[in-house]
Amino acid sequence: MLTVPLCSSLCSRLFFCSCPSSRSLPKVVKRRVNALKNLQVKCAHIEAKFYEEVHELERKYAALYQPLFDKRSDIVKAAYEPTDEECEWKADEEEELTDEMKEKAKLEEEKKDEEKEDPKGIPEFWLTVFKNVDLLSDMLQEHDEPILKHLQDIKVKFSDPGQPMSFTLEFHFEPNDFFTNTVLTKTYKMRSEPDESDPFSFDGPEIMSCTGCTIDWTKGKNVTLKTIKKKQKHKGRGTVRTVTKTVPNDSFFNFFTPPEVPENGELDEDSEAVLAADFEIGHFIRERIVPRAVLYFTGEAIEDDDDDYDEEGEEADDEEGEEEADEENDADYDPKKDAAPPAECKQQ
């Protein structure tokens, strides 16, 4: 069965290493190693309990965050106009401005605002967020954008206490001409316990499956389908007829109809790839997009994400490439002198 671990660790970096084979160990040492493995299994079960409690904490703090997210939603959809005090924000570039320059800039800004029509809330907030994030913008098609302009909020709901671990993404839409739903949902079921057949692979909660919802499309507005016309020639008579056929169409809204996992858990390669990407997207929306939406709207969070990547490796490769090029361009360079002598084989 396809699963995606939610927690990363150093294990992936250290997994492939040169280790002594347990088969070469003395029998008495093997027994002790087996004892350590049994201890490791117990550690995995304790770790599973730890993540269950983390899930409870997430649920608890989600309730504390929600009033702030609700207010964010009200501002975005123009249900609430923030006060002057709430709108005060000292940007870095404003710190060095004199009072006179600030006043001049303020007057110019007010003049521009007077010339423009008064927009309500923050237009296209979530659409802009999606377009700013590569993981999400890759899913967007041009015909999706008019629909996503009506997206007013995304909420994360955790499973109730005592219920199997899961979370649901709720996409809240204002009334529109495309579908009658006001909320579209996507639920991700998780597991936070070691697999009895492979307990050492446990690395935190895993997404096991996901379930979308039915979108009640207005007639002629379903962007997940398209109509094509094909010409067919009759083998005997040679006459040609035009056949109209409805086929799937690329769309963000296919996100709500993921491939179903069969009971035996076996998936073909295409479905497995789609689900793996789906799990990653669902987790990213939950962990990054919903909590930090305004920073993805402004692009600041994207800059922070880029800063997380280490470019030292690339620079090292470039330097190495330059050195090789310099050596090759050197008229006195003799590659035979750089060749390492063959290693001696020692037999015991």
Residues, the chain, total?
A: 348
Write phi, then psi, for 138 (nearest 5 degrees).
-65, -25
> Is the Cβ–Cβ distance between 135 and 281 less than 8 Å?
yes
Q: What's the pLDDT at 243?
A: 82
Lowest mean pLDDT across 4-18, 63-77, 101-115, 252-266: 4-18
Q: Which of 13-17, 38-42, 52-56, 265-269 has the highest mean pLDDT?
A: 38-42
pLDDT at 62 over 60: yes
- When pLDDT is averaged across residues 36-41 and rounded to a whole number, the result is 93
Closest to 177 measured CA to CA, from 215, 217, 144, 225: 217
Closest to 172 measured CA to CA, from 192, 162, 191, 186: 186
- When pLDDT is averaged across residues 302-320 and rounded to a whole number, the result is 56
Percent of the chain whose predicted confidence (pLDDT) is above 70: 72
To which residue do tokens 């035009």 refer? 242
| HEC readout, 140-198 | CCHHHHHHHCCEEEEEEEECCCCCCCEEEEEEEECCCCCECCCEEEEEEEEECCCECCE
Q: Strand 151-158 and strand 166-173: pairing?
A: antiparallel
Taking the C-alpha atoms of 261, 265, 267 and 271 in order, what is their torsion angle to the nearest 10 degrees? 30
Lowest mean pLDDT across 101-110, 154-163, 187-196, 337-346: 337-346
Q: What's the pLDDT at 90?
A: 78
Q: Strand 183-191 and strand 240-248: pairing?
A: unpaired
pLDDT at 21 over 90: no
pLDDT at 13 over 50: no
> Is the Cβ–Cβ distance between 129 and 145 less than 8 Å?
no
Q: Is 190 exposed, middle or buried (0-12, 13-18, 19+ CB in 10 A)?
A: buried
pLDDT at 251 over 50: yes
d(CA 216, CA 179): 5
* Residue, of 109 and 248, whose pLDDT is higher: 248
Q: What's the pLDDT at 266?
A: 74
Q: What's the pLDDT at 22?
A: 67
Query: Amino acid identity, residue 63?
Result: A
Per-residue pLDDT band at 332 (split at 50, 70, 90): low
Q: What's the pLDDT at 113?
A: 59
* Residue, of 21 and 34, whose pLDDT is higher: 34
* Residue, of 341 and 302, whose pLDDT is higher: 302
End-to-end CA gap in the chain: 47
> Is the Cβ–Cβ distance between 251 and 143 less than 8 Å?
yes
Cα distances (Å, whole numbers) of residue 293 to 80, 139, 258: 18, 18, 24
| HEC readout, 231-278 | EEECCCCCCEEEEEEEEECCCHHHHHCCCCCCCCCCCCHHHHHHHHHH
Percent of the chain whose predicted confidence (pLDDT) is above 90: 47
User: What is residue 287's DSSP assignment?
Assistant: I
- When pLDDT is averaged across residues 94-107 and rounded to a whole number, the result is 60
Closest to 188 measured CA to CA, from 55, 40, 22, 30: 55
Q: What's the pLDDT at 345?
A: 40
* Residue, of 46 and 271, whose pLDDT is higher: 46
What is the tens place of the pLDDT at every residue in 180-194? Answer: 999 999 999 988 777
d(CA 25, CA 101): 77
Write phi, then psi, for 186 (nearest 5 degrees).
-145, 120
pTM for the complete prediction? 0.74
What is the tens place of the pLDDT at every residue in 117-175? Answer: 688 999 999 999 999 999 999 999 999 999 999 999 999 999 988 888 899 999 999 99
Q: What's the pLDDT at 153?
A: 98
Mean pLDDT score across all residues of the chain: 81
pLDDT at 347 over 60: no
Handedness of CA 97, 103, 104, 108 (dihedral sign): positive
- When pLDDT is averaged across residues 286-310 and rounded to a whole number, the result is 84
Q: What's the pLDDT at 51?
A: 87
